[in-house]
Structure 1
């Protein structure tokens, strides 16, 4: 079992996690020769870190055009195009390759979502030299209605009743993304778990980890349509089968 899997402590799971399963968007044109260098001395943007100086998502309810970037080497993250560096985006997240969604672009600079606290953290990275791809999917979770719709190029391809966080530990709202895919080898409640780039706003830590929120299955269908989780979104098995085929970096709207 990887050390990252042992440490993550995803909200609503409370179990050890097994080996990590990699996935990613479809191949894109090869990257350019050079990548912007990382800057030493700045905290890494991961699910385990807090970035108090990070800008906040300017439109947390909006969809994107689906463009995602592969960060293959540690990369400096700026607070504005050509602005101050406040973090470094590493090449992997939970042993998965780092793919981040683009929410804005200005010339060579791309504003991307980050997986760190506080929720809604974003930053600017140089896009030149990065592999780009497009995820045509959006996962739209209506927390109050407890329904999830997956759309491809705007058209629904599946809709399900799901379970969400309870009143004492609600599912966080806002725009996030599928950060990683983890194969569960310890328990059987969800063969694959999809950690998101967002966290519980109730638990600063959970199970020894940072309280990362995830999409995952559940063996008892009675939880679907209920607000009984510790913040994660519990989905039926057929929904999970579809979700596990989506590219890393796919946008998830929790609204």
Structure 2
């Protein structure tokens, strides 16, 4: 992987960047707050008390800044999910399998936003989730436990980006409610493929190309960094509309203003398909 400076697709994510978090907006704006999810058949509504995980502080953090080479790889990178998303309320151990060895720890916040991640499988009191770390397609299992640990909800939305067609479709309960022509990565710096999610919503104060940036739980496969950050790919606006319909970014997806306003209202954890 080449480490090169940012030119046209700078997310500029730094641990101490002066950014204004918009996590509350992403969960509640326009009446699209995730709805409480139905529990799987046979799962009790009130789980029995269980001893808390002993999270090993030596384990790497599962954030956009981290790398988790031991993480299981997503076996269905283009599949939709049931829409269930998980709010992580306290730091959790991330395991390779239910009850298996832990390989990471998942914090309760991502980029100053609450941690919401898509659930791609469930087994008993465990959920397999998409993770925001390198390598792309990283997954892991977390123990759900009681309400002090996690909260399950459901979002009806899917963001579907056809990279080759340079087209973004927003679906609600399987029905298209918005379609836009977008800009994608250049041939030398393609937009990564696979399923990921809206990890955070941040107000951009470092640059002025987009008022809000929606970092995703995936990274550039070309660049190891964007402007000193971890190379996080994002959905964001762009002041020059001539980029829409073209492949000219460093990997991010550039969207028109009306698309950005709509996407900013989606719940955190909403599934994003890059295909």
TM-score (normalizing by structure 2) = 0.85
Structure 1 consecutive aligned stretches of length 4 or more whose deviation exceeds 6 Å: 29-34
Distance 2:274 2:105 in 1: 26
Q: Deviations over 1:117-162 (max 9, x none)?
A: 0000000001232211111000000000000000000000000000
Partner of 2:107: 90
Q: 1:20 to 1:140 in 2, by over 3 A?
A: same
Q: Deviations over 1:19-42 (max 9, x none)?
A: 222133436489977764423210
Partner of 2:254: 234
The partner residue of 2:34 within 26, 34, 50 is: 26
Q: 1:99 to 1:199 in 2, by over 3 A?
A: same
Q: How many residues align?
A: 247
Asked if 1:80 corresponds to 2:97, the answer is yes
The structure with more radius of gyration = 2
**Any stretches of 5+ residues in structure 2 without a counterpart?**
1-5, 28-32, 38-44
Partner of 1:151: 171
Shift of 1:185: 2.6
Partner of 2:41: none
Distance 1:168 1:121 in 2: 24
Distance 2:168 2:232 in 1: 19
Partner of 2:141: 124
Shift of 1:197: 0.1
Task: Determine if contact 2:35/2:154 at 8 Å carries over to the other structure.
Answer: no
Shift of 1:209: 1.1
Q: Deviations over 1:86-124 (max 9, x none)?
A: 000000000000001000011111000000000000000
Task: Determine if contact 1:10/1:209 at 8 Å carries over to the other structure.
Answer: no
RMSD over aligned CA atoms reads 2.1
SS state at 1:242 partner: helix
Partner of 2:222: 202
Partner of 1:13: 10
Distance 1:170 1:127 in 2: 36
**Any stretches of 5+ residues in structure 1 without a counterpart?**
1-8
TM-score (normalizing by structure 1) = 0.91
SS state at 1:167 partner: coil
Partner of 1:63: 80
Asked if 1:188 corresponds to 2:189, the answer is no
Distance 1:213 1:250 in 2: 15
Distance 1:11 1:31 in 2: 49
After TM superposition, the structure 1 = structure 2 runs for residues 135-146 of structure 1, keeping only pairs within 5 Å, are 135-146=155-166
